[in-house]
Amino acid sequence: MTQDDAPPSSSQQGLEEENHPRRRDVLATVTLGMGCAGACALAYPFLNSLNGTQSSRIGEDDTVEVDCSKLSPGQQLVVTWRGWPVFVQRRTPEMLASLRVPELAHRLRDPESKMHQQPQDAINWHRSVVPEIGVLIGICTHLGCVPSFDAPSSGDRSGKYACPCHGSQFDIAGRAYKDAPAPYNLPVPPVTIISDQHLLIGKSKGDPDFDIATIQQI
């Protein structure tokens, strides 16, 4: 500092200054660095505010209770959980049998549910807590449309899901077919069976630590 501030009274001092031209560069660089660090710190609250209210963090109850007493075998009803459409289906024996056909596995992308798209207690052949009731988040893993439910009929006794946007196909347990664009199985939300006719979406008894935000894709 002293050298920089002192007037170059003698030529020798001027020469010395020329030999140490870096001193001010260091100051300028440090100042610039601190300024950038400050700008980043300032940017944090602004960008963070874009995350919105984060309602899950403030302990709101976001579970949904579903009464499926009026649901006949082969039907599905659609409820809303966290703003997503959730399909609740009651499966017929024919639908369940179609899930276990050995040839089917070759046509599916992930027949064993290895991808993290469901809670632990839905990693099974029927992708649900109990075989008779299936619960799926109805958002196509391709580009987010809602697949339509092709209910079992006399022609196709197993039923399936078909996405109207780009033709993705899923079996009745939400497993994606290979020859269609959707890359992953339909997500399964955390489900707890309360009684024969009631279930709770949003909390999983078999996998209490499950967080829907951690799955592969919704």
26 contacts another protein (rule: CB under 8 A): no
Do the beta carbons of residue 125 and residue 100 sit within 8 Å? yes
54 lies in the binding site for another protein (CB under 8 A): yes
Q: Of 138, 121, 144, which Cα lies nearest the Cα of 193?
A: 121
Choose which of 2, 9, 53, 214 interacts with another protein (CB under 8 A).
53
**39: contact with another protein by CB under 8 A:** no
User: Counting contacts by CB under 8 A, is residue 50 touching another protein?
Assistant: yes
Q: Is 142 a catalytic residue?
A: no
Q: Which is nearer to another protein, 46 or 83 (CB)?
A: 46
Closer residue to another protein (CB): 41 or 70: 41
> Is residue 55 a contact point for another protein (CB under 8 A)?
yes
Residue 111: closest CA among 128, 127, 94: 127
Nearer to another protein, 54 or 69 (CB): 54
Looking at residue 121, what DSSP letter applies?
G
Structure tokens at 1: 């500092």
Residue closer to another protein, measured from CB, 55 or 80? 55
Pairing of strands 169-170, 191-193: unpaired
Q: Does 44 bind another protein (CB under 8 A)?
A: yes
C-alpha torsion 176→178→181→184, nearest 10? 40
DSSP state of 185: P
**Residues near 177 by Cβ (< 8 Å), separated by ≥ 6?**
107, 108, 109, 168, 169, 170, 171
Q: Is 45 in the site for another protein (CB under 8 A)?
A: yes
By rule CB under 8 A, what count of residues binds another protein?
A: 13
Shortest reach from residue 59's CB to another protein, in Å: 11
Which residues would be at the binding site for another protein (CB under 8 A)?
Answer: 31, 44-46, 48-55, 58
Q: Give the residue numbers annotated as catalytic, written as ranges.
A: 166
